[in-house]
Structure 1
Amino acid sequence: MRYSPRQLLSLALLLSSPVWLAACGSPQQQAAAVPQVTVETAAPGDVPMTMELVGETAGYRDIEVRARVGGILLKRTYVEGQPVKQGQTLFQIDPAPYQAQLGQAKGAQAVQLAALQKAEADLARIRPLYQEQAVSKMDYDNAVAALNSAKAAKQSADAKVKEAQLNLDYTRVAAPIPGLTSKQVQSEGSLIRVDAAEPLTTISQLNPIYVNFSISEQDSLNYEHSLSTGKVSADDGTLHPVRIRLADGRVYAQSGKLDFRDNRVDPKTGTISARAQFPNEDERLLPGQFVRVLLDLGVRKNVLTVPEQAVVQAQADNQLMVVGADNKVQARMVKLGAHVGGRVVIESGLKAGERVIVDGLMQARPGTVVKPVTAAPAKA
């Protein structure tokens, strides 16, 4: 079958139109196939160096209130869990036996006082006779010895009276410090023993309040090495500001100060004990609370940081997706450091000037070509 020239031209146009349409759509499809990612150029900067540790609050002074004399506990004169003042009466022990002992001691004191007065009178009478040699020297020496003995006996009697008075006063158990009381351990009517294992109650002074924590030996050595090499800039080590994060995630409003660091490493735990002191005027912090201690150690110099969302977890390793000069994605194994304000320090595996993908990681597979868009500059 033969076709006319017009039919041949129409057939040629019909056959070539799909190829032309495909050729026209290829650049659009190729452009759409290149994913767009947001990148950040790694640049060195200074970041605060903060160490986060586990701590426990403790009273500035925790005093166990114990009885200094034994006897029957008659009554409790304070409200459990409420603050008390120094010298305030907390318990009353039966004073009757000690009042009787005080009476006996005073009677013995009176006897010794009478003996002393007689010895003084005897010596006063014999002294002029001895001077006139009317009595022997032995009689005079006996009178002097009797007076000295009477003085010693009177002194011993005075001490017994003082001891009995102290024991009577100790039947009133008073608060040795101001603070917050705990629950009563011994109830009224109990027989109180001086050598009892349990105290009557405990008083905690809460303002200021202590926070005890421990620093690992390795962290301490790393920090000292960073100071000596100039990687960390810090003020006087005894003036490190300390903050605490409470159990609900809030940071305590007032900062504290480091006031103690032990001079030895605990061989059982490999840690160094330390303590910080915090103001606690409203007594919101109570002893025994577990907190997170934020210890500000200075400023790290010239370190690389990336946003936390840029880190990809690959089993036990951490990776960053880096865009090369040819816009191809490369996976980098990195070692992470401290987390600071939504960013993480990169200890190794990344160089300054490299472009790190911070958004669009789902489309950025290693070896693929991407269209990088620069993110806003980040502050360290």
Structure 2
Amino acid sequence: MQYETRRLPRLMVAAAVVAVLAACDGGDTTTSAAAPAAPPPPQVTVQPVAMADVPVAQEYAGRTQGAREVQVRARVTGILLERTYQEGQTVQQGDLLFRIDPQPFRVRLDAAEAGLQQARATLQQAQRNWNRIDELWKSRTISASTHDDARAALDLARASVAAAEAEVESARIDLGYTSVEAPLSGVTSLEDLPEGSLVGTGAGDSLLATITQLDPIHVVFSLPEAEQMRERVLLESGKASRIEEQGRVPVDVVFGDGSVHAQEGWVDFTASGVDPATGTIRARAVVPNPDHRLLPGQFVRVRVKGLVRNDVAVIPDKALMQGPQGPFVYVVDAEGKAQARPVQTGALVEDGRIVEGGLAEGDTVITEGVIKVRPGAPVQAAPPAEAAETPASEEAQG
């Protein structure tokens, strides 16, 4: 009996411990059985699809070249006395560039003018002689031979005067050639012959300098044949139209840093055939260049404008996703769920990417938050303005 009395407290303690453990296990079971709360639908930014006429600009690689490049050459032989400009200077048409020693040509002009005076004196004498002979001939006091000789002498004197006048004009022109003027406005090159050189009229000793016209300047570029054919199909089918300014196709010139030349140019030439070596069509644009920012030989991008795509949709490029079957976008259906929609994309324009097919007027496209979207799952859609205000309001509350 004493042993059982001593054992009883121990049994009671053990029972109490078991009861406590059971209570703890029961609480955990209740907690684990509770279902977790469902996450809210992701918030996304949406944009309704609106069909409109969209201007399209196409860019091509191009290279600049002077609108005109003229070689300044000597037209008479002589000593080059002076160069009147600084090399690399911009000159205007008619500016004096070089002086060739004029003295020999002045002497030749003086001699030609003296010869002209002599010929005119001879003509006057022949005219007076003819007048006398003709009167005698009418009275039949001289022979026909004498009359004919007087007439021939008069005609010869007149011809001599004409030849002398031509000689004077030639000498005057050569004297004028000793002052070499700029044939056009442009930028001068390095001189080819220094002052004091003997210049001539041959190919090897007549070149004095070169002038390149920079305003306007030409930009040469090539149009891919396939792209031109596609544009022609769009124009003929009515899916595109061409807007020209004063009958010309406008262009912008884009520099390597992305900046755009201040003056707009236009296309003035397109080849009538395709280059078989490159499969491209050669074209040229004329661009005003008053500040000479464009220089010959410069690589630029030519942005050809004037093409308009008719009745197409434009969406932000970031809304496009790429899948195994090609590009697609997420649209929000009538139940507020995101659905994948395959699309056919077109050119990249200022406001986004043209969608050729797959979207209709009034469709709601998800443009931001696409990474959080699952096909068929509900989303919380907001237009761009509202979506931009939501983070700001949350930050203010915080």
1:23 pairs with 2:33: yes
Q: Which residue of 1 aligns with 2:51?
A: 45
1:223 pairs with 2:231: yes
Q: Which residue of 1 aligns with 2:308?
A: 299
2:92 alignment partner, one of 85, 89, 100: 85
Distance apart, 1:67 and its partner CA: 1.8
Distance apart, 1:39 and its partner CA: 5.4
1:191 pairs with 2:201: no
Q: Which residue of 1 aligns with 2:5?
A: none
Please say which of residues 191-200 and 317-326 is displaced more in the overlay: 317-326
Letter of the structure 2 residue corresponding to residue 252 of structure 1:
H
Deviations along 1:143-187, one digit per CA (max 9) or x if unpaired, are: 101211221122112112211221121011011233333332322
**Aligned pairs, number:** 367
TM-score w.r.t. the length of structure 1 is: 0.79
Aligned-partner Cα distance in 1 for 2:344–2:77: 65
Letter of the structure 2 residue corresponding to residue 343 of structure 1:
G
Aligned-partner Cα distance in 2 for 1:307–1:167: 70
Letter of the structure 1 residue corresponding to residue 350 of structure 2:
G
Deviations along 1:30-62, one digit per CA (max 9) or x if unpaired, are: 639x8x463545624332211112233444544
Instruction: Tell me the SS of whatever aligns to 2:36.
Output: helix
Instruction: Tell me the SS of whatever aligns to 2:79.
Output: strand
Q: Which residue of 1 aligns with 2:81?
A: 74
Q: Which residue of 2 aligns with 1:178?
A: 185
Aligned-partner Cα distance in 2 for 1:292–1:181: 27
1:112 pairs with 2:119: yes
Q: Please list every run of 5 or more consecutive structure 1 residues that lacks an aligned counterpart in the other structure.
A: none
Distance apart, 1:64 and its partner CA: 2.7
1:235 alignment partner, one of 236, 243, 246: 243
Please say which of residues 2-11 and 46-55 is displaced more in the overlay: 2-11
Aligned-partner Cα distance in 2 for 1:314–1:4: 65
CA contact (8 A) 1:323 1:355 kept: yes
Aligned-partner Cα distance in 2 for 1:335–1:72: 73
Letter of the structure 1 residue corresponding to residue 155 of structure 2:
N
Q: Which residue of 2 aligns with 1:264?
A: 272
CA contact (8 A) 2:319 2:370 kept: no
Aligned-partner Cα distance in 2 for 1:70–1:373: 88
Q: Which residue of 2 aligns with 1:322?
A: 330
Deviations along 1:48-91, one digit per CA (max 9) or x if unpaired, are: 21111223344454433222223332220112222323322101
Letter of the structure 2 residue corresponding to residue 80 of structure 1:
E
Deviations along 1:304-347, one digit per CA (max 9) or x if unpaired, are: 333233445789x9644536869577595x65422222522234
Aligned-partner Cα distance in 1 for 2:161–2:155: 10
Aligned-partner Cα distance in 2 for 1:357–1:236: 34
Aligned-partner Cα distance in 2 for 1:125–1:199: 58
Q: Please list every run of 5 or more consecutive structure 2 residues that lacks an aligned counterpart in the other structure.
A: 1-10, 386-398
Distance 1:375 1:62, change over 3 A: farther
Distance 1:319 1:211, change over 3 A: same
Aligned-partner Cα distance in 2 for 1:22–1:159: 121
Q: Tell me the percent identity.
A: 35
Instruction: Tell me the SS of whatever aligns to 1:141.
Output: helix
Distance apart, 1:213 and its partner CA: 3.2
Calculate the aligned-residue CA RMSD, in Å: 3.7
Letter of the structure 2 residue corresponding to residue 216 of structure 1:
P
CA contact (8 A) 2:43 2:382 kept: no
CA contact (8 A) 1:37 1:371 kept: no
CA contact (8 A) 1:261 1:272 kept: no
Aligned-partner Cα distance in 2 for 1:107–1:165: 13
